[in-house]
Chain A
Amino acid sequence: MTRKTWSTVDISAYLDGKLTPEVQVAFETTVSQDPDLQHRVAEMRQVVTLMRSVPLQEPPRNYLLTTEMVSESKPRTQRRRLPLLMMRVATSVAAAAFVVTSGLTLMQRGITPAMITQSRGAPEAAMLLEKEATGDEMEMLVAPMAQAVPAEEPAESEAPAAPEVEKAVERTVEVEEEVVPEAPAEPAFDMPDTENIEEPSLGDDEEVLALEIGMGGGAEEIAPEGDADSAEATTEVTDTADGMTAGVSVPDIADTPPEEAIQAEAEAAPAEVAAAEALAEQEEAMAAEAPMPPVEAVGEMTTGADSEAAIRTIPQEDHAPEMAGEAIEATDAAPAVWAPVGLGVVTAVLAAITLWISRRQLD
């Protein structure tokens, strides 16, 4: 076998005895005849000898392992991840429960997504419906109502106003024959100046009723001038309350001159305004829970002149059955309302804790 040149790989393999027997014989033959190849082999052999002659570095220490060194990594990681995993699961479960409970609560209250969507334009729509139903007179009366109702009030308290007007008319007819048992014990009216208040100067029935509705719908008794029936009714209320009750006492219109009444009214105006404001606040609170009373008052307006006095004598106790029913409903609805609220709070707390744990692990 003849070869012209021998590569470095051949020389290196020859030094390590890695050439095949045939190649090794040929290589040795060439080396014996080629001084240059001999020099190359000698140089590389020196390198290999030098590399193998120098002893290895002594390691600076022993690398014996301990149980802690070997087993500290994985369990620690698992221990760290376990709380975070549990918190994530708990947060997810709480969030799911919150969504389900909220949906069930809305369904129990009869609120559908379509109603929620429609409720965004409900105040204006309710105004238009009431205008169509009651005419110009209703328009005057609904305006203060709409102002009294907060802007955030959901449409469920205003949208069904038109059909409830008819119910209110029927109730008004019944109210005419009812006997007022007792005057309301309102602290706001427990003022001596208001005992002599007479309101005959408000001859315009519409203005009176508008004021009445705006102030709370039926809590204050106002007797129009010259109406004997209503005067008797108001006198009866006052007698029942012994004339010194905390409720609004209506003076005997027939015995009180109009001029004195005007003066008394002028003197009592600031106190009356304060009482009206208190009633307005109370009415707002009532309207938030039960939209019926203002609508009733609106309906009473349409029943005629004879019923006006009786309507005005309706104390708050006349709403007692309705209020009691609402209270029962509120009592029943309380757990259903608080369940999603509580779950929402729990979900928020769990989410905050989960976020804190995850950030701590990242650090």
Chain B
Amino acid sequence: MRLPFRHFGSKTKYSQVLENVKQTMTIAPKMWDEEALVKAAQRGQMDAFSELILHYQSQVFNLAYYILHDPAAADDATQEAFISAYRSIKKFRGGSFRSWLLRIVTNACYDELRRRKRRPNVSWDEFGDMDEEANPHLVNGGPRPEESVQQQELRALLDRSIAKLPTHHRTTIILIDRLGLSYEEAAKVMDVALGTVKSRLARARKEMQSLLQAERELLPARFRL
């Protein structure tokens, strides 16, 4: 390979560029290596933990969103979960990082639900700015404009039905059917036995079936029996 020496004033400058390229190749991961990222994050590298955040933030937010059924609260819970995860990542002893992370956000959401029982209403002072972009209370948690109408209706129906499930059943069906976790991972996230996960999932599916049947006319034809 011929090196473009003519583009650089001296050999020293070329070596500097080569070093920068090496550093760039070192920083940018070519493939997803969760274990390496976790170890780097345990050493205090914020960039590595940021990679983990970008990879899992959708799942974390959705879990919080479906548990809390509130976009603003889910946003706060997600942020708090990542902060808690970073502070305690040195305690992570291996295994499924996703399960560990989702367990943190699940506990944060349960804490939020308990807090809501004590203080069910949002005060006007907390409501704050009337600007919709600045105020998470005003963010519309419904379907986005770019989605098709059918998709929007289906998502809204699904959200309403999931919101009616008991908390533990809701968490179980979200973890397994929405986020794609295995039974074992779901058991770790919820800190329950595997048999409990099976039974909760079966009941949640049965309840969802009943709820969806009640609004059968809103379902697409392929989901009707």
- Please give the residue numbers on chain A whose beta carbons come within 8 Å of chain B beta carbons, in ascending order: 7-9, 11-13, 16, 18, 39, 42-44, 46-52, 54-65, 67, 69-70
Contact B71 A60 (CB under 8 A): yes
Q: Which residues of B contact A16 (CB under 8 A)?
A: 176, 183, 201
Q: Is B100 an interface residue (CB 8 A)?
A: no
Residues from chain B with a CB closer than 8 A to the CB of A54 are 151, 154-155, 158
Shortest CB distance B114–A (Å): 21
Contact A61 B225 (CB under 8 A): no
- Assess the A65–B86 pair: CB atoms within 8 A: yes
A47 adjacent to B198 (CB under 8 Å): no
- Please determine whether B139 and A60 come into contact, CB atoms closer than 8 angstroms: yes
Partner of B173, one of A51, A62, A64: A51
Q: A63 contacts B78, CB within 8 Å?
A: yes
The answer to whether A67 and B202 have CB atoms under 8 Å apart is no
Say whether A58 contacts B206, CB under 8 Å. Answer: no
- The smallest C-beta distance from A133 to any residue of chain B, in angstroms, reads 78
**Partner pick for B205 among A8, A57, A64, A69, CB 8 A cutoff:** A8
Partner of A63, one of B79, B155, B178: B79
**CB <8 Å contact, A48 and B82:** no
In the complex with contacts A44-B209, A60-B75, A70-B83, A13-B202 CB distance below 8 A: yes
Known: A58-B58, A65-B50. 9 other contacts (CB 8 A): A12-B198, A46-B223, A50-B154, A51-B158, A54-B151, A62-B54, A65-B46, A67-B46, A70-B83
Which residues on the B side are within 8 Å of A43 (C-beta)?
209, 225
Taking a contact as CB atoms under 8 Å apart, the answer to whether A56 and B58 are in contact is yes
Identify 25 residue pairs between A and B in the complex whose beta-carbon atoms are under 8 Å apart, listed by A's number: A9-B198, A12-B205, A18-B198, A43-B225, A46-B223, A47-B208, A47-B212, A48-B177, A48-B205, A49-B223, A50-B158, A50-B219, A51-B158, A51-B173, A54-B158, A57-B58, A57-B61, A58-B144, A59-B57, A62-B53, A62-B54, A63-B57, A64-B53, A67-B46, A69-B83
A189 CB to nearest B CB, Å: 78
- Please, what's the 1-or-0 string for B71-94, where 1 marks a CB less than 8 Å from any CB in chain A? 100010011001100110000000
Instruction: State the Cβ distance, B222 to closest chain A Cβ, in Å.
Output: 9
The interface of chain B, by Cβ under 8 A from chain A, is 46, 49-50, 53-54, 57-62, 65, 71, 75, 78-79, 82-83, 86-87, 136, 139, 141, 144, 151, 154-155, 158, 173, 176-180, 183, 198-199, 201-203, 205-206, 208-209, 212, 219, 223, 225
Instruction: Enumerate chain B residues within 8 angstroms of A12, measured Cβ to Cβ.
Output: 198, 201-202, 205
Using A52-B177, A52-B178 as known contacts, say yes or no to A8 and B202 having CB atoms under 8 A apart: yes
Knowing A43-B225, A50-B212, A54-B158, the reply to whether A8 touches B203 (Cβ < 8 A) is yes
CA distance A52 to B79 in the complex (A): 25
Question: How far is B83's CA from A9's CA once the two chains are assembled, in angstroms?
Answer: 37
> In whole angstroms, how far apart are the Cα atoms of A175 and B83 in the complex?
93
B97 to chain A, nearest CB (A): 16
Provide the residues of chain B in CB contact with A51, threshold 8 Å: 158, 173, 177-178, 208
Question: Is the beta-carbon distance between B86 and A56 smaller than 8 angstroms?
Answer: no
**Is there contact, CB below 8 Å, between B53 and A63?**
yes
